[in-house]
Amino acid sequence: MPGGRPSGNRAIDERGFHAWLAAHLPAGRRGLLPLGDDAADLCPPPGRVAILTTDALVAGTHFRRGSPPRRIGAAATNVSFSDLAAKGAQPAGILLAVLVPPGTPAGWARALVQGAERAAARWDAHVIGGDTKPGPVPTVVGTAVGWAVPGHLAPRRGARPGDVLVTTGTVGRGGAAAEALRARGERPDVLARLLDVRPRVAAGRVLAPLAHAMIDTSDGLAEAARLLAHSSAVRLEVDERTLPLDPAVRRLPARRRRAAAFFGGDYELLAAVPPDRLPAARRAVGATRTRLTVVGRVARGRGAVLLNSAGARPMPPPGWDPFAAARPRGPTPG
Amino acid sequence: MPGGRPSGNRAIDERGFHAWLAAHLPAGRRGLLPLGDDAADLCPPPGRVAILTTDALVAGTHFRRGSPPRRIGAAATNVSFSDLAAKGAQPAGILLAVLVPPGTPAGWARALVQGAERAAARWDAHVIGGDTKPGPVPTVVGTAVGWAVPGHLAPRRGARPGDVLVTTGTVGRGGAAAEALRARGERPDVLARLLDVRPRVAAGRVLAPLAHAMIDTSDGLAEAARLLAHSSAVRLEVDERTLPLDPAVRRLPARRRRAAAFFGGDYELLAAVPPDRLPAARRAVGATRTRLTVVGRVARGRGAVLLNSAGARPMPPPGWDPFAAARPRGPTPG
């Protein structure tokens, strides 16, 4: 009902959700259109381009049905903001399409939106719109918008032979979380993406003007390297001995360490930086209190390889494929 | 596989879909980032604000599993562009998150994107990004972005007493389609939204600077009037005798006519225009070859009423509620 204020326990309905969005969402947002209008507006700062990205999180694949909705909303926001970070963009807003089984308490979707709002607020961004529809399993599709400087977008395809490869943070945080789940007898392919994702927004903003190419490591460093190599039509050589492994990965048995390192779900940045800009990159990223490590180099050729004392080998495949993960459990995991 | 070119019959996978998006999407798009990057960029024209809107279409609720994917993609685009039209915005791009059961042929999602691309091209807009994930039933979430003039956004809450209410096109096109399905023994609540939706982009652009408030009639004129009245804190009086009923509605038995008229799925525009701007609105909308009809007025008070020779009565409820429609069939309609 327009204007109705659904109680948290009442079943969700589309119009009630939209009315709640319109009435309860952030005081911080100062748009020209009120929330809950047909659409939301955002005013780009002068000379900036809009950067947009969309990501879906599905119950049973990316989170459990029982996961706290605030955490799901925060994850949807942070996962999308990680893609913005890889283009050096400043997050401005996020739209959330929430699919839920009929009868889901309205409070579930509201808590999800509030979790997203809290996550967005870390970067002065806001939930700027949303939709809800019935669907067989809870699903949230987040579409984030941010602003970036046109000349400094660090596309995937920009890596050049001679560049050095750098990564923020550590390698294998997602894999270590998956290993911990596995050790408890839980499915490692669920929930690993619902870590406390920390998008590298500040590091991305300072790296983008210095990098020839950049990508986030949402699917792990190996997959990111493969995509960067393919898009840029170059060869990427990652030196396994230099990887800043997550402490939890270092504690694993040696035979499980590599799979954990490249499992995915890290949400760090992998960038190709010309060598003469490396000192500036170190200074700028250091000023954001983010670790930056040289992990390899860009060469002529094709593909991504992993170097160690035994020589070069093809990059291992990613540890996690949502379609493969979803398949064995049939159509309604969760 | 990055760079792989999945055949249309091969099962979909996320990375193959992204690679296909990157390689095959429109020559017409001239962005700073290539398609298939982590994110897409759009450059706003000087002095414009970005307008964003998100909408989900779910198999079994909004379309049938067997519906042609090109048509689903076109509908996702047109439904979102209708919301842009209601703010007077020029469509610029659309992002598509496509959820499909594992094993779905890659060609299905590709055809959906191509249908969206063709629909967007009518307004020189493009598919600018996408994501695919496994989900129990086919679902597409479209997020559209467009550009509008900041002072001319025609918010829902702007209607003022004394304004006249105008609508583009006819009333009941969605309901007439639903009645036709019902007559063939099919569920009227499915597919009716997958009409050949024709968003009123051109009419919206010329009406927005003249209107105090505007909304699209995706849920029918009655629901649009209720939302406009609520948001603007005014009373809306719609004169039933003046409604430009769709010819197919006129042909229905009298007892079914009103339900069809207000069923939903019309995707016209309902605007509140000050009387002194009505001649300009008629001229401007006429120049877009779109019919414009005065259907009522804005008064002091609250709520939306329907006037006819018998007097005023509360606006009838919308004919279609996706949550109610999804409920009786259980969790996996389609």
Nearest CA in chain A to B44: A49
Q: Look at residues A148, A170, A201 and tell me which one is the last residue of a structural domain.
A: A148
Domain shared by B108 and B160, yes or no = no
From A133's Cα to the closest Cα of chain B, the distance in A is 7
Whole-number CA gyration radius for chain B: 21
With bands split at pLDDT 50, 70 and 90, how would you rate the model's confidence at B196? confident
Determine the distance in angstroms separating the CA of A289 from the nearest CA of chain B, rounded to an integer.
24
B40-42/B139-148 β-pairing:
unpaired
A328 occurs within a structural domain: no
Which of B38, B84, B231 best probes binding to A when mutated, by most A CB atoms within 10 angstroms?
A: B38
| Residue A321: predicted pLDDT | 64
Of A37-46, A274-283, B241-250, B253-262, where does mean pLDDT reach its minimum? A37-46
Q: Is B2 on the interface with A (CB under 8 A)?
A: yes
Give the helix/strand (H/E) hosting A228.
Answer: helix A221-232
Chain B residues lying within 8 Å of A57, measured CB to CB: 133
In the β-sheet with B40-42, what is the strand arrangement from edge to edge?
A: A126-134, A90-100, A139-148, A49-58, B40-42
Number of A/B CB contacts below 8 angstroms equals 268
Residue B206 has pLDDT above 80, yes or no: yes
B127 plus B225 within the same structural domain: no
- Whether ipTM tops 0.95, in short, is no
Instruction: Say whether B56 and A156 touch across the interface (CB within 8 A).
Output: no
Which residues 173-212 of chain B have a CB within 8 Å of chain A?
Answer: none
Query: A305-309, B251-255, B323-327: which range is least confident on average?
Result: B323-327
* Predicted confidence band of residue A65 (pLDDT cuts 50, 70, 90): confident
Residue B257's pLDDT is what? 92
Chain A neighbors of B136, CB-CB under 8 A: 136-137, 331-332
On whether both A113 and A247 belong to a single domain, the answer is no
CB distance from A275 to chain B under 8 Å?
Answer: no
Residue where one domain finishes, among candidates A130, A148, A166:
A148
- At residue A50, the pLDDT reads 92
Q: Which tokens sit at B68?
A: 């042609």
**A38 lies in the same domain as A135:** yes
pLDDT in tens, B223-249: 999 999 999 999 999 999 999 999 999
What number is the average pLDDT over the span A218-244?
95
Which is it for strands A90-100 and A126-134: parallel, antiparallel or unpaired?
parallel
Amino acid (1-letter code) at residue B327? R
Position B34 in a domain: yes
Q: Are A275 and A186 in contact (CB under 8 A)?
A: no
- Together in a domain, A116 and A261: no
**Which helix H or strand E contains B323, and what residues bound it?**
helix B322-326
Q: Which of A256, A273, A276 is nearest to A212 (CA)?
A: A273
| Residues 6 or more apart whose Cβ sits within 8 Å of residue B184 | none
Going by pLDDT thresholds of 50, 70 and 90, the confidence category of residue A78 is very high
Which of A18-27, A182-191, B5-14, B320-329 is predicted least confidently?
B320-329
Can you tell me the mean pLDDT for A104-120?
92
pLDDT-derived band of residue A108, with 50, 70 and 90 as boundaries? very high
Q: Which of A83, A130, A331 sits opposite B136 (nearest CB)?
A: A331
- A155 chain-B contacts, CB cut-off 8 A: 32-34, 37
**Is the residue at A91 inside a domain?**
yes
Query: Based on the domain organization, do B108 and B126 belong to the same domain?
Result: yes
Residue A265: inside a domain, yes or no? yes
Of B86, B87, B99, the CB nearest to A58: B99
- The whole-angstrom separation of Cα A5 and Cα A24 is 10
Could you tell me which residue, B164 or B323, shows the higher pLDDT?
B164
Amino acid at B151: G
What is the domain-level CATH number for residue B307?
A: 3.90.650.10
In a domain, A332, yes or no: no
pLDDT recorded at residue A5? 40
Binned at pLDDT 50, 70 and 90, residue A270 comes out as very high
Identify the domain boundary among A148, A165, A192. Answer: A148
Question: B139 and B211 in one domain?
Answer: no
Query: Which residue of chain A has the CA closest to B84?
Result: A39
Number of independent structural domains in chain B: 2
pLDDT at A332 over 50: no
The CATH number linked to A109 is: 3.30.1330.10
Q: Are B166 and B281 in contact (CB under 8 A)?
A: yes
Distance CA A68, CA A187 (A): 18
- Do B178 and B305 lie in one domain? The reply is yes
Residues A171 and A239 in one domain: yes
Of residues A52, A137, A156, nearest to B129 (C-beta)? A52
- Of B25 and A79, which is predicted with more confidence? A79
pLDDT tens digits for B93-135? Answer: 999 999 999 889 989 989 999 999 999 999 999 998 888 888 8
Spatial neighbors of A239 by CB under 8 A, at least 6 apart, are A295, A296, A307, A308
Q: Is A143 on the interface with B (CB under 8 A)?
A: yes
pLDDT at A16: 80
Find the CB nearest A136 among B13, B42, B331: B331
Residue A67 forms part of a structural domain: yes
Q: Are strands B139-148 and B49-58 parallel, antiparallel or unpaired?
A: antiparallel
Name the average pLDDT for chain A. 87
Q: Who contacts A46 (Cβ-Cβ below 8 Å, separation ≥6)?
A: none
Q: How many CB atoms lie within 10 A of CB B96?
A: 27
The answer to whether A2 contacts B39, with C-beta atoms less than 8 Å apart, is no
Domain assignment of residue A168, yes or no:
yes
Average pLDDT, chain B: 87
What's residue B32's pLDDT?
65
User: Domain check: are A68 and A115 in the same one?
Assistant: yes
The answer to whether position A324 is within a domain reads no
Q: Which domain holds residue A194?
A: 156-317
Within this chain, do residues B88 and B45 fall inside the same structural domain, yes or no? yes
Among chain A residues, CA nearest to B60: A135
Q: Rounded to whole angstroms, how far apart are CA atoms B173 and A187?
A: 49
Q: Does A41 touch chain B (CB under 8 A)?
A: yes
Q: What's the pLDDT tens digit per position in B291-316?
A: 999 999 999 999 999 999 999 999 98
Question: How would you list the strands of the sheet with B164-168, edge to edge?
Answer: B213-216, B269-273, B164-168, B292-299, B235-239, B303-308, B311-314
- Do A173 and A274 belong together in one domain? yes
pLDDT band at A21 (very low <50, low <70, confident <90, very high): confident
C-alpha closest to that of A96 among A108, A86, A88 = A108
Is there a contact between B43 and A61 if contact means CB atoms under 8 Å apart? Answer: no
Q: Whole-angstrom Cα distance, residue B83 to residue B224?
A: 12
- Residue in this structure with the two tokens 């659409």, named with its chain if needed: A39
Q: For A158, name the nearest residue in chain B, comparing CA atoms only.
A: B33
**CA-based nearest residue to A39, from B8, B216, B141, B28:** B216
Q: Which residues of A touch B19 (CB under 8 A)?
A: 230
